[in-house]
Structure 1
Amino acid sequence: MFDWLIVGAGFAGSVLAERLARERGDRVLVIDKRDHIGGNAFDHHDAAGVLIHRYGPHIFHTNSEAVFAHLSRFTEWRPYEHRVLAEVRSPVTGATLQVPMPINLDTINTLYNLNLTETELEGWFASRAEQVAEVRTSEDVVVGKVGRELHELFFQGYTRKQWALDPSALDKSVTSRVPTRTNRDDRYFTDQFQAMPKHGYTAMFERMLDHPGITIRTGMDFAEARQRFSFRRVIWTGPVDEYFGFRHGKLPYRSLRFRHETLDQDQVLPTGTVNHPAEDTPYTRVSEYKHMTGQAHPKTSITYEFPSAEGDPYYPIPRPENQALYKRYEALADAEADTWFVGRLATYRYYNMDQVVAQALATFRRIEAELPRHPVPESILAAGD
Structure 2
Amino acid sequence: MFDYLIVGAGLAGCTLAERLASQRGARVLLVEKRSHIAGNAYDGYDDSGVLVHRYGAHLFHTNDREVFQYLSWFTDWHHYLHRVLTWVDGQLLPLPINLDTLNQLYGLSLTAETMEAFLASRREPREARNSEDVIVSQLGRELFEKFFDRYTRKQWGMAASELEPEVCARVPIRFNRDGRYFADTYQGMPKQGFTRMVERMIDHPGIKLMLNTDFAEIKEVIPYRRLIFTGPIDEYFRYALGRLPYRSLRFEFERIQREQFQPACVVNYPNEFDFTRIIEIKHATGQQCPVTTIVREYPMAHGEPYYPVPARKNRELYEKYAEEAAKLSDVFFVGRLGQYRYLNMDQVVREALNLFERL
Normalising by structure 2, what TM-score?
0.99
Partner of 1:236: 229
Shift of 1:131: 1.3
Paired residue for 1:131?
125
- Matched ranges for 1:62-81 at <5 A: 62-81=62-81
Q: Confirm whether residue 43 of structure 1 aligns to residue 68 of structure 2.
A: no
Shift of 1:225: 2.4
Counterpart for residue 339 of structure 1 = 331
- Report the Cα distance in structure 2 between the residues aligned to 1:170 and 1:160, rounded to whole angstroms: 10
102, 105, 120: which one pairs with 2:96?
Answer: 102
Distance 2:221 2:76 in 1: 37
Q: Could you tell me how far 1:319 is from its partner in structure 2?
A: 1.2
1:40-189 to 2 correspondence within 5 Å? 40-89=40-89, 96-132=90-126, 134-189=127-182
Q: What is the one-letter code of the residue matched to 1:37?
A: I
User: Partner letter of residue 114 of structure 1?
Assistant: L
Using the TM superposition, give the Cα deviation of residue 85 of structure 1 relative to its aligned residue in structure 2, in angstroms.
Answer: 0.3
- For structure 1, which runs of at least 5 residues remain unmatched after alignment? 90-95, 368-385
Distance in 1, matches of 2:92 and 2:214, equals 44
1:381 maps to none
Deviations 1:339-373 (A, max 9, x none): 11000100111110000100000000001xxxxxx
Residue 199 (str. 1) matches residue 200 (str. 2) = no
* Amino acid corresponding to residue 83 of structure 1 in structure 2: R
Name the CA distance, whole Å, in 1 between partners of 2:316 and 2:288: 49
* CA deviation profile, 1:192-231 (whole Å, cap 9, x unmatched): 0000001000000000000000000110010222244211
Q: Structure 1 residue runs of 4+, over 6 Å off?
A: none
- Secondary structure at the residue paired with 1:258? strand
| Secondary structure of 1:184's aligned partner | coil
Partner of 1:371: none
| Equivalence for 2:3 | 3
1:358 paired to 2:342: no
User: Which amino acid counterpart does residue 59 of structure 1 have in structure 2?
Assistant: L
CA distance in 2 between counterparts of 1:157 and 1:18 reads: 42
Give the distance between the partners of 1:269 and 1:65, measured in 2 at CA: 32
* Number of the residue aligned with 1:378: none
Aligned equivalents of 2:316, 2:309: Cα separation in 1: 12
Work out the CA distance in 2 between the residues paired with 1:228 and 1:77.
41
Partner of 1:303, secondary structure, is strand
1:316 aligns with 2:308: yes
Out of 274, 277, 290, the position equivalent to 1:285 is 277
Select the residue among 249, 252, 256 that pairs with 1:256: 249
Partner of 2:34: 34
Task: Report the alpha carbon displacement of residue 12 of structure 1 after superposing the two structures with TM.
Answer: 0.5
| Largest Rg, 1 or 2 | 1
Inter-partner Cα distance in structure 2 for 1:276 and 1:321: 28
How many Å separate the matches in 2 of 1:254 and 1:226?
27
* Residues 277-303 of structure 1: per-residue CA shift (max 9 Å, x gap): 00x200000010110111111110111
Amino acid at match of 1:62: T
Distance in 2 between residues matched to 1:13 and 1:20, nearest whole Å: 11
- Residues in 2 aligned to 1:53 and 1:225: alpha-carbon distance in whole angstroms: 30
Instruction: Note the alpha carbon deviations across 1:133-159, whole angstroms, 9 max, x for none.
Output: x21110000010010000000000000
SS at 2:336 equivalent: coil
**Alignment identity in percent?**
55
| Corresponding residue to 1:325 among 310, 317, 336 | 317
> Which residue of structure 2 lines up, in the alignment, with residue 370 of structure 1?
none
How many matched pairs? 359
Equivalents in 2 of 1:56, 1:225: separation in Å?
30
1:274 match: 267
2:205 maps to 1:209: no
Q: 1:262 to 1:228 in 2, by over 3 A?
A: farther
**TM-score, scaled relative to structure 1:** 0.92
User: What SS does the corresponding residue of 1:344 show, helix, strand or coil?
Assistant: helix
Gaps of 5+ in 2: none
One-letter code aligned to 2:142? E
Spell out, residue by residue over 1:153-196, the C-alpha distance to the aligned partner (whole angstroms, 9 max, x if none): 00000000001111111111100000111100000000000000
Deviation per CA, 1:71-105, whole angstroms, max 9, x where unpaired? 0010000110010000011xxxxxx1000011010
Q: What letter corresponds to residue 77 of structure 1 in structure 2?
A: W
In 2: Cα distance, 1:191 partner to 1:262 partner: 32
How far apart, CA to CA, are the structure 2 residues paired with 1:206 and 1:305? Answer: 27
Secondary structure at 1:266 match in 2: coil
Q: Name the aligned partner's letter for residue 121 of structure 1.
A: M
Aligned residue for 1:383?
none
SS at 2:235 equivalent = helix
